[in-house]
Structure 1
Amino acid sequence: MVTHEQIQTSNAQIVSSLPSGLVAVFVGATRGIGEATLKQFVRHAVAPRVYFLGRDRTNGERVGAELANLNPEGEYHFRSADVSLLANVDEVCREIKCKERVINLLFMSCGTTIMGIDTKESLHYPAAVSFYARIRFIVNLLPELQKATSLRRVVSVLNGTKEGHIDTGDFQFRRLAMMQARGHSASMMTLAFESLALEAPDVSFVHTFPGLVRTKLGQDTNRAAITVLRGVFKVIGPLCTIPVAEAGGRQLFMATSAKFPAREGRDIEETMARGTDGKEGSGVYSVSNDGEGLSAKTEEALRVMREEQDMVRKVWLHVEDEFVRITGCAFVA
C-alpha cells in the first residue's frame, strides 16, 4: 500500500521534479474528484496552463477564480461542454489543438449515475460519458501528448482493478446488472488503454479506482438504487469514505508519480508499478485507491481476455466503428 505520507511527499516534489509550464487538460473538473485533483495539481505545479471542462458554467467560473487564488502564476481556461456527445468532444479538442502543440496530462473523471437513456448519437448515456467520450479525448489529443518532453500521461478515474467479463453482445452495457456493468466497463477501459499504448508506447496510461469518496455523484438521478445508496452512505459514510481532498491528492500522485512510467522513453525507476500485463513499468496500469495494482486473479482474467479471446482487438474495433459511425472519422487530426 502507498501511504498517505508517501503520496504527500511525492506530490511535494512536483515543483522540483517536473518542469514549469506543464499543460494539462481536466475533463469533469468542476466538482468532486476532478475538481479536487485539479486544485492539488495547481497547488504543486509551477506556472501550469490548464484547460478544464464541466457542464455547469457557474461552477466553472467559481473553480477558475479559486485556481487563480491558489496559483496566480498559472493560466486557467474553462470550457462548458456536454461531453456525452462526441461532436462536442471533437469541438473542444479542435480548440485545444489550435492553442497547444504539447500536452503533458489528460485527466478524466467525468461520470454520471443516469442509466437507461441514449444520447442523440445513439450511445447509452453512461457509456458515452464514462467510456466513449474519454477514449475520444485520448485519440484526438494523443499527438500532443506524444510531443511532450517530460510528463506524458493519461489518467481515467473509473473502476481500475475491478475488471471483469466483457459481454461482446452488449458493449454499451444497456442490459447488464450494476456489478456486471462495473467489471465489463473496467475491462473495456483497461484493454482500450492497452490498444492505445501499442500506438503510443511513450505515453503512460493509468486507470484508477478512487475508492468510496464523499462527492455529490448521484444527485443527477432519482433511481431507487442510487437513492438508497445515498441514504446508506449518509449513515456509514464517515466510517468508510475518503474525504474528497485526500482523494484529489491520491489521484495527483497517480497522475504525476514516476511509479507509473510509459513503456518507452523513460528512465528506469526502482519503484516502478506492475503493469496490466504483469510486467514492471510496462506503460498501462490499473490502480486502486491505495496505490496498488491488480490482484493475481484479475491479472490472469485480463491475460485470458488479451491472449485467448483477442479482446484488445475486439474492443478497439468496436470503438473505431462507433467513432466512424458517429463522427465520420476515427479521430480529429
Structure 2
Amino acid sequence: MVFLSIVHASNSLISTTLPPKLVAVFIGATSGIGKVTLKTFAKYTTQPRIYFIGRSQEAADLILTDLKTLNAGGEYNFIKADVSLMRNVDAVCIQIKQKEKFINLLFLSPGVASFDRSSICLEIKKKNTETLERIHLLAALNYYTRILFITSLLPLLRAAPNLRRIISVGGGTQEGPLDAADFPALRIPLPQLRGHLSTLVTLGLEATARNEATVSIVHDYPGTVKTPLLNYMSEEQMSALMFVPLEECGERHLFLATSGRFRAAEGGCNGVMVGEGDEVAVGTSGTRGSGMYSVGPDCESASAEVLELLAGLKEKGMVDEIWRHTEGEFTRVTELSEVR
C-alpha cells in the first residue's frame, strides 16, 4: 500500500518539481471524484490552465468560485456537454484543440459509480439502457466516449513539453473474464459485469497506448467513494459499505496524475519522485515503468492473478479484436449522425 503520508509528501512537491502553467482537462468533473480531484489539482499546481466538462452549469458556477479561491493564479474554463454521446465528445475536443497546443493531463471520470456492490450495478443497468447513439449507457460512459476523448486528444498530450498523463477512473485491478461476443455488456450477467467492463477498458487503453511510449496511462479503481451517484441507496445499504473519504480520494488521484511512480515508458518529465523508496510501479505488461498501469485504491498495481489474466487475453489477440470493435462503433455512430 502507498501510505497517505507518501501521497501527501509527493503532492506537496508538485509546485516546485513540475513547471507552472500545466494544462489539464477533466471529463465529468461537476461532482464526485472528478470534482474533488479537479479542486485538489488547482490547489497544488502553479498557474494551471484547466478545462472541465460536465452537464450542470449551476454546479460549474459554484466550482469556478471555489477554484478561484483555491488558486487565483489559475485559468478555469467550463464546457457544458453530455459526454455519453460521441457527437458531443467530438464537439468538446474541437473546442479544446482550437485553444491549446498541448495538454499535460487528461482525467476521465464521467458518471460511473463504483462496482463494489451488485445493487449499484443493477441500479445503473436499469437506467436508460441505451443512448441516442444506440450504445448501452454504462458502456458508453465507461468505455466508448472515454476512448474517443483519448484518441482525439492524444496529439495534444504527445505535444506536451513535460508531464503527459491520462487517468481513467473505473475498475483498474478489478479485471475479470471478458465475453468477446458482447463487448458492450448488453447481456452480461450481473455478477460478471464489473470484471468484464474493467477488462474491456484496460485492454482498450492498452490498444491506445501501443504507439504512445511518451504518454503514461493509468486505469484506476478508487474504492467506494460517497458521491451523488449513490444517492438512491438507503441508509441501511450505505451503512454496510466501507468508504474511501472524498478528500483522500482527491489526494490519491492527484498522486496518480503527477507521481513519477506511474511514469511513461520513454521520454518527457515523468512526475514527482519523493525518495529512494518510491519505486516505479509495475505496469499491465508485468514490468516496471511500462507506461500502462492498472491501479487499486491503495495506489498499488494489479495482482499477479490479474496480470496473468490480461496476459492470456493479449496472447489470444484480444487487444486487436477490441480495437476493431471500437473503431467499428466509432464508424457506425458517425454514419448514424450523418443520417440524422
TM-based fold match above 0.5: yes
Equivalent in the alignment of 1:244: 246
State how far apart, in whole Å, the 2-side matches of 1:155 and 1:164 are. Answer: 20
Amino acid at match of 2:213: P
Q: CA deviation at 1:315?
A: 0.7
Equivalent in the alignment of 1:278: 286
Equivalent positions of 1:148-187 (< 5 A) are: 148-187=160-199
Amino acid at match of 2:333: I
Question: Which is worse superposed, 173-182 or 313-322?
Answer: 173-182
State how far apart, in whole Å, the 2-side matches of 1:45 and 1:178 are. Answer: 41
3-state secondary structure, aligned to 2:135? coil
Amino acid at match of 2:324: L
**RMSD, matched Cα:** 1.6
TM-score for both structures, normalised by structure 1: 0.92
State how far apart, in whole Å, the 2-side matches of 1:177 and 1:72 are. Answer: 49
Equivalent positions of 1:125-274 (< 5 A) are: 125-219=137-231, 227=233, 230-237=234-241, 240-266=242-268, 271-274=279-282
State how far apart, in whole Å, the 1-side matches of 2:50 and 2:74 are. Answer: 8
Equivalent in the alignment of 1:319: 326
Equivalent positions of 1:18-37 (< 5 A) are: 18-37=18-37
Amino acid at match of 1:277: S
Structure 1 residue runs of 5 or longer lacking an equivalent are none
Q: CA deviation at 1:177?
A: 2.6
Amino acid at match of 2:124: I
3-state secondary structure, aligned to 1:285? strand
Equivalent in the alignment of 1:87: 87
> Contact (CA 8 Å) 2:29, 2:54: kept in 1 or not?
yes
> Contact (CA 8 Å) 2:106, 2:167: kept in 1 or not?
yes
Structure 2 residue runs of 5 or longer lacking an equivalent are 113-122
Amino acid at match of 2:8: Q
Equivalent in the alignment of 1:5: 5
3-state secondary structure, aligned to 1:201? coil
TM-score for both structures, normalised by structure 2: 0.90
Amino acid at match of 1:311: M
Q: Would the alpha carbon gap of residues 204 and 16 (structure 1) be closer, same or farther in structure 2, given more than 3 Å must change?
A: same
Question: Which is worse superposed, 91-100 or 117-126?
Answer: 117-126
Q: CA deviation at 1:328?
A: 5.0
Amino acid at match of 1:115: K
> What CA deviation, in whole Å up to 9, does each residue of 1:196-247 have, x standing for no partner?
111211100000000111211134xx6xxxx4xx44443234xx21111110
Amino acid at match of 2:318: M
Amino acid at match of 1:101: K
Residue 294 (structure 1) aligned with residue 268 (structure 2) = no
State how far apart, in whole Å, the 1-side matches of 2:293 and 2:308 are. Answer: 15
3-state secondary structure, aligned to 2:298? coil
Equivalent in the alignment of 2:72: 72
State how far apart, in whole Å, the 2-side matches of 1:73 and 1:87 are. Answer: 33
Amino acid at match of 1:243: P
